[in-house]
Chains A and B, each alone.
Chain A
Amino acid sequence: MAEQKINRVSLTEKDYEGAPSTMCRGCGHDAISASVMRAFYDSSVDPRKVIKLSGIGCSSKTPAYFLSQSFGFNAVHGRMSAVATGANVANHTLIPIGVSGDGDTAAIGLGNFCHMMRRNVNITYIVENNGVYGLTKGQFSATADKGSVMKGGKINEMPALDLAELAIVLGATYVARSFSGDRKQLAPLIEGALAHKGSAILDVISPCVTFNNHEGSTKSLKYVKEHLDPIHDVDFIPSYENIEADYKPGTDHMVTMHDGSRILLHKLHEDYDPTNRMQAMQMIHASVAEGKFLTGLIYYDPNRPDFAAELGLGDTPLAELGQDILQPPPEALERINADLMK
């Protein structure tokens, strides 16, 4: 029997799989699950140290289809960000991956989503963005583009909410956009997000082949492919790889992550620096005006501490602190009382 390929923690690709998918055949969400498994395998993350989070929607069902050995929390509709914040405070040593939809995140869950990013909670947060509520049969969501045509013929008159722009404004520190069908770009972007400490938001266009894949839809497979506008090709170089990256001074951009891993961006757009917030926003605006989907690592902030660091949670997670540490001794109470009597 041929020897099975293993990664640095001696696990096979199979160890990163989940239950068989129940998505419609050809759904973009399945392709994203494949990239998630690829990224975790390539990053050699131990699945037993991972917590999978989601809300409600077709997209939010997908964590069942990867990493079956990980912890899982399927929150109610729109509450994934709040649950992730709580989970992070309870145990910030778990590696969180959240999968949500454009309905779950940009409509009912928008408030919680904003505050999670404001706190820079550590998470790899994937929005599987199809412009519709897939699970409830194809109503327009808040990310449906203005002018996009619904399956029944109705034209969307509301402007879309741009999740990447919103994430930058609200304090997320790793903001990327990609396309479900572009595993070459998406998998390294997920790897980068896993290596990053803070809110890493990946807005991934993921066509709903059942309800939003027709002529006139701006989130159909065909339309998205024709309007993709990658800023750069992306390579992820894990911290343990000592290789000299294929770095071309002047045209490439290197991003070094907290854990020493690196993202190498081979620039297609001139002079693009993802740490420049204003430039990132301008790029998004320009691409929206041209009706294009800007993809790649749009924004990166290496300096802002994440929520756990801000709270000074230390190395041992709260969930693992014993009663002896959590409960102050009687002397502490006496000291406080004495202070009050002064």
Chain B
Amino acid sequence: MTVTMEKPKSGMSDGVYEREELLNGCQAVAQGVCLADVDVIAAYPIRPYTEVMDALSKLIADGAFDAEYIIADSEHSQFEIVKHASSVNARAFGGSSGTGWMYGMEALTVTATDRLPPMFVVGNRALDDPGAFGVEHNDAMAVRDLGWLLCWVTTPQEALEHVLIGYRVAEDKNVRMPMALAIDGAFLTHSQHIVKIPSVAAAKKFLPQYDLAERRLHPDNPISVAPQANEDWVMEIRRQNWEAAKRARGVIKEAYKEFNAIFGERYAQPYFDEYMTDDAETVLIGVGTVAAPGRTAVKRLREKGHKVGYVNLRWFRPFPTEELRACLSRFKSVGVVDRDFAHGSPDNCGILMHEIRSCLYPAKNRPAIVNFIGGLGGRDLSIADAQKMFDITAQAAKKDSMDGYITWIGLRE
């Protein structure tokens, strides 16, 4: 299945999209927040996320958007404000990057265990130390086991649209989980594209009002949030989280269907998209903006007759187990690109590799699978790097040993 992910297909004449603007990823997210009619925003600056909060405060100051905007004294307070706003039925938004995201980890954990559905943008940034402003995915990945929805996008257009899609999924009564929208630092947060901005009416049509219903914290609805439950109930509560995460897969599918119905055929598949994979033998799979050099390398290799393709994984949580298993089983070899690390883990692979390998274990036709770790701390992953990864991945199909199973790409040695 081949799709181009760049521009919405429907025109502006049908009233679905209102105007075009040159926006970077952060500004596009801010437009999404505005269209989602968010009630409460809390903020604390850290690069590269800072530009999201700056763009939002500008929209409010310019009178284009009305929301409570609170500058917190740290990420921890910021996330707590967002969480509490969400619990009283306000649609709430926050965000951070790298070490800031980690600083608020306690609050991020309870937001998930309390089953509240605010949205946070993570402008992916390397964790301290050593200091680096560039992209790395370990920050967002830190919430992967806590009961969060976690999704990566690759363009400002997708970023805007996934604010709407994200709230839609998170707030669904069958889900009610917090949503982390991950955007690669610099490569997406600060790269500009022409973005088509949906009309308010279309956004409203797609995203219903937030309603926490019976779990709304309100004097008229006296409930307790976050009680001490101990061994009496913790298992059952964890099980509820587990089931919600399972159910989220179906809700995501439904959300894309409706999104496509309103906005034109934007997304061929909900959880991931495939590029030139129809007859491919060798594919790379990654999350985030590595898709750009990945797809370009595919185009160039195809010109030389290589049967290659690229799979861009969008939803990491919930993980699209069945669908991805079916997809990747079609190929001879798969190269997994990790812009993260999992030191000391099985075979010392990256996080994405573990998830994909685990997903493929029950598959009848298991492809050969190799791992690449690269682009850490914001280092560029170039088209030449991608071509090299395709080459190594193609070779893996011919080998029966595990040699070269893991390769650090672009490492100075």
Contact = CB atoms under 8 A, between A and B. Distances in A.
Chain A bound to chain B: yes
Interface of A: 76-78, 107-108, 110, 133, 136-137, 139-140, 142, 152-154
A139 B71 contact: yes
A110 B50 CA distance: 21
Contacts of B44: 107-108
B58 interface: yes
A76 B128 contact: yes
Contacts of A108: 44, 73-75, 103
B188 to A, nearest CB: 19
Interface string B39-72: 0000011110010011001100100000000010
Nearest to A107: B73
Interface residues of B, number: 19
A110 B76 CA distance: 13
B54 A137 contact: yes
B46 A136 contact: yes
Contacts of B103: 77, 108
Interface in B93-138: 99-100, 103, 128-129
Contact of A154 (B57, B73, B99, B100): B57
Given A76-B128, A152-B61, 7 more contacts: A107-B44, A136-B46, A136-B50, A137-B54, A139-B45, A139-B53, A142-B73
A36 B103 CA distance: 31
Nearest to B129: A76
A76 B99 contact: yes
Contacts of A107: 44, 73-74
Contacts of B61: 152-154
A175 B71 CA distance: 28
B69 to A, nearest CB: 10
A137 B50 contact: yes
B50 A77 contact: no
B50 to A, nearest CB: 5
Contacts of B47: 136
Contacts of A139: 45, 53, 71
Nearest to A142: B73
Nearest to A109: B74
Nearest to A110: B73
Contacts of A77: 99-100, 103
Top 3 nearest A-B pairs (CB, nearest first) are A136-B45, A108-B74, A107-B73
Contacts of B45: 133, 136-137, 139
A60 to B, nearest CB: 11
B74 A78 contact: yes
A152 B53 CA distance: 14
Nearest to A154: B61
Interface in B249-266: none
A133 B73 CA distance: 11
Residue of B50, B74, B100 most packed against chain A (CB within 10 A): B74
Nearest to B51: A137
A256 to B, nearest CB: 39
Contacts of B74: 78, 107-108
Contacts of B71: 139-140
Interface in B123-168: 128-129
Contacts of A136: 45-47, 50
A110 B72 CA distance: 13
A146 to B, nearest CB: 14
A154 B71 CA distance: 13
A108 B46 CA distance: 12
Contacts of A142: 73
13 contacts: A76-B99, A77-B99, A77-B100, A107-B74, A108-B74, A108-B103, A110-B73, A136-B46, A136-B47, A139-B45, A152-B61, A154-B57, A154-B61
A277 to B, nearest CB: 27
A139 B128 CA distance: 22
Nearest to A133: B45
A133 B54 CA distance: 13
B58 A152 contact: yes
B143 to A, nearest CB: 20
A153 B60 CA distance: 12
B47 to A, nearest CB: 7
A72 to B, nearest CB: 13
B107 to A, nearest CB: 14
A78 B71 CA distance: 16
Contacts of A153: 61
A78 B103 CA distance: 11
B74 to A, nearest CB: 4
Interface string B79-102: 000000000000000000001100
A83 to B, nearest CB: 13
B171 to A, nearest CB: 29
B97 to A, nearest CB: 11
A219 B73 CA distance: 20
B57 to A, nearest CB: 7
B110 to A, nearest CB: 19
Contacts of B50: 136-137
Contacts of B129: 76
A305 to B, nearest CB: 31
With a 10 A CB-CB cut-off, give which of B53, B73, B74, B128 has the most chain A CB atoms. Answer: B73
B65 to A, nearest CB: 14
